[in-house]
Structure 1
Amino acid sequence: MTNLSVNINKVATIRNARGGNMPDVLKFAQDAEAFGAQGITVHPRPDERHIRYSDVYGLKPLIRTEFNIEGYPCDKFIDLVLKVKPTQVTLVPDAPDAITSNAGWNVKDNFSFLTDLVERLTGHGIRTSIFVGTELENIEWAAKTGTDRIELYTEPYASLYPSDKEAAVAPFVEAARFAKNLGLGVNAGHDLSLVNLAFFSKNIPFLDEVSIGHALICDALYLGLQETIKQYKACLEQ
């Protein structure tokens, strides 16, 4: 069974547009869990343009499923996660001004940096995941860091899916199998949606987790949060 982790960044974006506390990010996370989400993901950035560091501290005692914090491992970020001690930290190579994650790590070029981080986080009982593309050599380098999992960056899959879904999924199937054979857990995220998730899940049935935010929040505007989570989970259960 693949877990659905709901990324609530966009909920915070709506709140921040007007100030105040509407919608309530903390309550939204609790409701998402109540409606069946098996995890909550946040991606705090230095400018706090969506999730704020205070949100992360507020969420920690409320989350009853898995709490995944993703982000670029600057000193401020690492200090946050060591204080909060979430279930999982997903390390992404975002620049501070990035609109959204748009590439995985070149692990070989950042090997010492990532290895030290993984060792430090693991020492505090936090599961680690490294955000990567589908290059097999890069995944092999990721395994050498000691990370528990990788997260496959799925925007290339989502982009090609409408025109050739078999070609779109093929490199991800190969990458996921390769990672699994190396003893890594496999997560996935970025631009997965109700349109393309079921096919992805069907072809990679041993996925541990998908993290979905933007598309899921957009769907919830039309379907409601409870129905949206139900439909996303159905995609993963086929």
Structure 2
Amino acid sequence: MHKQSTFDFIKTEDQDFFYSLLKSYYFRRVLRDVLFIQKIGEADKNLIREKWGKVTDEYIAKIEELGILRKKNGLLITQFSLSDMGTIFEWFIARYLSEKLSLETMVGVKLKNLEFGGDIDVVVRVGTRLVMIECKESPPNNISVRELKSILDRVNYFKPDSFILLIDTTLSIKRNILDNIKWILHDEPQRCKEGVYKVKGNYYIVTAKRNILQNLAVAINLVA
């Protein structure tokens, strides 16, 4: 296996600032909405404000400061697409694991002859254990049973010591994720704490309830 090239969405000198912003759930949500809309006018800002409140203007200004948005003909135009949000989220998670938890990480790992498509978002070494992390920045209702099966097929192919499904949401995942995982694996997910669930011995499901990084650290400690 090998890892893809380093993160180059943001200038090197701005990456610390960007990383600090990504620690905010609301910043990540505003950024995702911006990348989804692509061309931001005042009406679009109002829609985002309705969802995320008074932080919207501050975060949109910071997104523009980072060069992700540029003004053109009275609109703010995104320089990236919605699909890039996944890469950004993976980079954010890998950097946290590397810097805060001092763990060896790889991002965007390609496996030769992988039958089920895609790649492995993040691979992390925890002591002698290899942990595979699937990062999902989209809402849980966007994650279908078919996609969950595909993810678990990759887990079975890669055969890590442990697996973490990381979903960047504070919404309930019972119906769309937990119930579907139970149906696929024939095992009832057990709640470890708010935002952290364990299933099938060494599989974990982690969400952004309270704090996604703290929840991820809990799962990593359980793996170790």
TM tier, smaller: 0.3 to 0.5
TM-score by length of 1: 0.32
Larger Rg: 2
Whose RCO is larger (CA < 8 A, sep 6+)? 1
TM-score by length of 2: 0.33
**Larger relative strand fraction:** 2
